[in-house]
């Protein structure tokens, strides 16, 4: 991360229209920043629109989540600027680890990611994958 709080995205994760396509970053309760790329932002907006105004709990969760969220685009060099609140949430100092999650990716403090990865045994991971049908 540079002094302007920017990180360069891996080339394969950059959208086609880098300076126009909007990303969405959310604080993940596990201690990282989860980033939705532009095509997933559209799908997420569709899901969110299904939460009824009469669903008080759903509205509260959305308000809490999105009050801590940030949107951004890539600059011409493929960098994204991370909001200071999200940096604080992830305890990110200077170095970051990008972790792909299929349709999203996460930004981690390297030490927190190392600790997180040690929490599950290979047997636990295998069981989870089996439960998912993978």
pLDDT at 18: 55
pLDDT at 91: 95
Strands 33-36 and 105-108: antiparallel
Domain CATH for 117: 3.40.1550.20
**Number of structural domains in the chain:** 1
Q: 70 and 83 in contact (C-beta within 8 Å)?
A: yes
pLDDT at 19: 53
Give residue 17's domain range.
Answer: 6-131
pLDDT at 21: 81
Other CB atoms within 10 A of residue 62 CB: 14
pLDDT at 35: 93
pLDDT at 98: 94
For residue 1, tell me if it sits in a domain: no
Query: Strand order in 23-27's β-sheet?
Result: 70-72, 23-27, 33-36, 105-108, 97-100
Q: What is the pLDDT along the chain (134 residues), one digit of tens a residue?
A: 999 999 998 888 887 765 568 889 999 989 999 999 888 888 888 888 898 899 999 899 889 888 889 998 888 888 999 999 999 999 999 999 999 888 899 999 999 999 988 886 767 777 777 777 76
């Amino acid at each position: 991360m540079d002094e302007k709080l920017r990180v360069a995205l891996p080339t394969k994760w950059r959208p086609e229209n880098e300076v126009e396509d909007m990303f969405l970053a959310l604080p993940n309760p596990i201690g990282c920043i989860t980033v939705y790329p532009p095509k997933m932002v559209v799908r997420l907006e569709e899901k969110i629109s299904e939460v009824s105004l009469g669903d008080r709990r759903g509205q509260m969760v959305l308000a809490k989540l999105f009050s801590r969220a940030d949107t951004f685009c890539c600059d011409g060099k493929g960098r994204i600027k991370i909001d200071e609140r999200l940096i604080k949430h992830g305890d990110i100092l200077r170095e970051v680890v990008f972790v792909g999650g299929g349709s999203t990716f996460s930004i981690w403090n390297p030490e927190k990611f190392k600790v997180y990865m040690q929490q599950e045994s290979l047997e636990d991971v295998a069981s989870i994958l089996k439960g998912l049908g993978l």
